[in-house]
Amino acid sequence: MDYKNFLLEIEDNIAILRFNRIESLNSLSKDVLVEFREILKELDANGEAKVIILTGAGEKAFVAGADIRELKDMNSSDAEAYSSLGQECLLLLEKMGKPVIAAVNGFALGGGTEIVLACDFIFSSENAQFGQPEVKLGVIPGFGGTQRLPRAIGIRMARELIYSGERIDAKRAVEIGLVNRVVPSEELISETKKVAKNIARNSFSAVKACKNAINNGFEMDVQRGCELEKKIFALTFDEADAKEGITAFLEQRPPEFK
């Protein structure tokens, strides 16, 4: 299917979705967000795609942030609607019933950082930059940055980045726990695909159950989280994959998950 602001390819159960507004560094206009919301719904329902890699077209940017030209004439009502649309997209991304890996090439600023925070984990090229520069425009992050960034890297470090609006490079992003790993720019997609393929080989129902347990248990205390885990663990035994995986292990052969 052709999209106006995105490129999508699906191969070997891996979907690679690219923001494709190279001329504006893949910035987030309202039209981009509306289309992003629909693509996320389509990918969630797509049985062929077991893992999603989210990245940016071109060499300079993953997503450089909001389309500032659209912000210029917004009043508070317009801004609330824009924030609601962005937050809706990122909640869809976060709750996707399959893993989403951010492969960050170049700038991931403002809304770009907020997008990667809603992904399951993050790989970065050596030239990537992250930041929440909204205070430099007289506004605040509006797509969940004030909520997800403290949960990702701790409240004190998040305060420093959000209050200062300063950018950090990939090396610093790894040091503070924002990014999982940094790879050379030319190897970013190939290295991300290796991990995605490893995930896709596993039981899809089990991976989905893991994401459910992690996401829904994270805000609970450990005891309630373990209760949730126990219930989800039990439900996996009703899946054909559990029977196949355990049988294959005992028979010393690779599992054939459906």
Set 23, 42, 134, 186: catalytic member: 134
3-state helix, strand, coil in the chain (%, to 5): 55, 15, 30
Query: If you search the block for the tokens 């994959």, which residue do you land on?
Result: 241
239 is catalytic: no
Strands 121-125 and 168-169: unpaired
Question: How far, in Å, are 56, 132, 141, 143, 233 from residue 148 at the CA level?
Answer: 21, 12, 11, 9, 27
Strands 51-56 and 14-19: parallel
114 is catalytic: yes
Question: How far, in Å, are 26, 84, 96 from residue 169 at the CA level?
Answer: 19, 29, 28
Set 38, 48, 114, 160: catalytic member: 114
Contacts of residue 20, defined as CB under 8 A and 6 or more positions apart, other chains included, come to 3, 5, 6, 7, 26, 57
Strands, E assignment, 38-195: 51-56, 61-63, 100-104, 107-109, 121-125, 129-131, 168-169, 181-183
Q: How many other C-beta atoms can be found within 10 angstroms of the C-beta atom of residue 81? A: 12
Helix (H, G, I), strand (E, B) or coil at 27: coil
For residues 183 and 126, the answer to whether their CB atoms sit within 8 Å is yes
Catalytic residue numbers? 114, 134
